[in-house]
């Protein structure tokens, strides 16, 4: 047996199991990684909305990270919901000097529309964590918010992904699931020395059961980077994993239901 890559997820807890830490653990485990967690926020949520949010203190988040890094070690890190400036600063301090790929999913708004981050914390996110990231994975509304301009369709994504990459120094995966187009188009922009854009696309699956797709995608990419896969291949395989999990969704809940992580058996 080979030793599994050690993957640390720094994210919020979703009580209904569809997104956040719970989706990350399922994804990491299904892709052969060893999952560790630093919980930033407790949420009461389900497929129809977020009913309550209780952030952890920055010191507790930092201690969770240190407990994992100091003993187990880490091969890749996924960062999701951070909620406020105190938590963001604590995470940045705890990760200083860590030599492992970091996949940052700038979680701002839940699928149901609930705000998941303090608006004043976004500038701190830009300053402290974006420069440390290997890859940033915004969806179209998040990308528009980060660039402070309107983005409405996939034709604008390549330029926007390049712009955010140039501002941060990180690779950017711009996700086009919010366009409403018949095909899902994502754009990966890699900075120097590669300096190139790669387009991925597939037909949209007509389903409401997409809760946790962003969390699943980012944790899958982190896991595959932990396995030693190059970035483009990690993104390609991770998109296939998400698509298969959507197709296997169990249909739970009255709203945007969870994915079927457990049913994914093979990636092409």
Residue 68 a catalytic site member: no
Angle, CA 110 vertex, CA 229 and CA 203 arms, to 5°: 55
Residue 134 a catalytic site member: no
CB distance 218 to 105 below 8 Å: yes
CB distance 144 to 174 below 8 Å: no
Q: Which residues contact 190 (CB under 8 A, 6 or more apart)?
A: 165, 171, 196, 197, 198, 231, 232
Catalytic residue chosen out of the listed positions 213, 216, 223, 257:
213
The Cα–Cα gap between 199 and 192 comes to 18
Residue 213 a catalytic site member: yes
Q: Which residues contact 209 (CB under 8 A, 6 or more apart)?
A: 246, 249, 250, 251, 252, 256, 257, 258, 259
Q: What are 27's two structure tokens?
A: 């994804």
Catalytic residue chosen out of the listed positions 78, 111, 175, 223:
175
Catalytic residue chosen out of the listed positions 27, 134, 210, 223:
210
CB distance 35 to 220 below 8 Å: no
Residue 215 a catalytic site member: yes
Residue 266 a catalytic site member: no
Catalytic residue chosen out of the listed positions 17, 47, 215, 257:
215
Beta 34-46 vs 49-55: how paired, if at all? antiparallel
DSSP, collapsed to helix, strand or coil, labels residue 195 as: coil
Residue 214 a catalytic site member: yes
Catalytic residue chosen out of the listed positions 214, 226, 257, 260:
214
- The residues annotated with a catalytic role in the active site are 175, 210, 212-215
């Amino acid at each position: 047996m080979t030793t599994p890559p050690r993957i640390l997820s720094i994210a919020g807890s979703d009580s209904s199991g569809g997104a956040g830490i719970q989706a990350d653990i399922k994804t990491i485990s299904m892709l052969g990684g060893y999952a560790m967690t630093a919980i930033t926020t407790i949420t009461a949520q389900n497929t129809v909305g977020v009913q309550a949010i209780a952030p952890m203190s920055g010191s507790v988040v930092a201690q969770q990270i240190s407990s994992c890094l100091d003993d187990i070690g880490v091969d890749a890190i996924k960062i999701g919901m951070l909620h406020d400036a105190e938590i963001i600063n604590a995470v940045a301090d705890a990760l200083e000097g860590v030599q492992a790929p970091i996949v940052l999913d700038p979680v701002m708004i839940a699928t149901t529309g609930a705000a998941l981050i303090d608006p004043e914390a976004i500038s701190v996110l830009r300053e402290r964590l974006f420069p440390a990231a290997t890859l940033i994975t915004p969806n179209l509304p998040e990308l528009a918010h980060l660039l402070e301009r309107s983005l409405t369709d996939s034709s604008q994504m390549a330029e926007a992904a390049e712009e955010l990459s140039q501002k941060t120094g990180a690779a950017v995966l711009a996700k086009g699931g919010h366009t409403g187009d018949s095909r899902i188009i994502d754009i990966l922009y890699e900075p120097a020395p590669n300096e190139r854009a790669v387009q991925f696309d597939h037909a949209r699956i007509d389903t409401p059961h997409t809760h946790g797709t962003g969390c699943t995608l980012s944790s899958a990419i982190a896991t595959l980077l932990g396995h030693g896969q190059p970035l483009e291949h990690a993104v390609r395989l991770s998109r296939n994993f998400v698509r298969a999990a959507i197709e296997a969704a169990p249909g739970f809940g009255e709203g945007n239901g969870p994915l079927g992580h457990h049913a994914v058996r093979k990636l092409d």
